[in-house]
Structures are given as structure tokens and as C-alpha cells.
Homo-oligomer: A and B are copies of this chain.
Amino acid sequence: MTIKEASQVTGVSADTLRYYERIGLIPAVPRNESGIRNYDEASIGWINFIKCMRGAGLPIEALIEYVALCKEGDKTEASRKAILIEQRDILQQRIESLQKTLVKLNYKIDNYGHLNQEAIKNIKWNE
């Protein structure tokens, strides 16, 4: 699969695919004799995984480290798992924080236009 096809399949631009590979955010993609990338199932799987993780806001740094550990083989399994757990916990906290903001926003919306502007003023945005 060429980089163009891989881009279409994953929805990640060819430029970004090259960039991700360059910085180690996805493992090296297999090449043909003339050095042209030939994306296989595993490559596509990596791209989709990374796309999903980036979409959830996981830091590029953590993902690069994760990919690097994967390349080193089975002995890094524990460290890899630890990275995922750490990032999972951060994501969980982030979701909880967003949910609190959603509640406040809903409260503000529900009270809009009513005469109880006092209620809105009492929302504590910093908490």
C-alpha cells in the first residue's frame, strides 16, 4: 500500500504520515527496493492506534516512548503497560473534569434568560 493509499485509508495526510515516522511516533514502515514506503496491515494498525490516542490528547512524547519500547521487544512489556496505565489515568481525570465543565455549562444555559441571574453568578468556574 502506497503512502497515498495509507493516507486515504487512515485519514492522516501523507505529510503527517512521513512526519510521524520521522519522529518515531509510528514504527518504520517497510520499503521496497527503491526505498518507497509499502504500508502493511501492521503499519495501518499503528497509524489508527496513534490517531486514536492523539485524538484523545495523549502527549506525543509518551507515545514516542511507547513505540520505542515496542521495538525493543518482550522485555519492555511492563514499562509499556505502565505508560498506558499512566495515560489512561490522565485521560480518566480529563474526562471527569470535562464532565464537570459540561454540568456548569448546562446550568448556565438552563438559567439563561430567566430572571435568576444570581444563580449564574454563583457558578464557581475555578474548582
Contact = CB atoms under 8 A, between A and B. Distances in A.
Contacts of A102: 56, 88, 91-92, 95
Interface stretch (A20-28, A31-39, A105-113): A105-113
Nearest to A102: B91
27 contacts: A45-B121, A45-B125, A49-B125, A51-B125, A52-B126, A55-B101, A56-B97, A56-B98, A56-B101, A56-B105, A57-B98, A77-B112, A78-B113, A80-B112, A81-B109, A81-B113, A84-B105, A84-B108, A84-B112, A85-B109, A88-B106, A88-B109, A91-B101, A91-B105, A95-B95, A95-B98, A95-B102
Interface of A: 10-11, 45, 48-49, 51-53, 55-57, 77-78, 80-81, 84-85, 87-88, 91-92, 94-95, 97-99, 101-102, 104-106, 108-109, 112-113, 121, 123-126
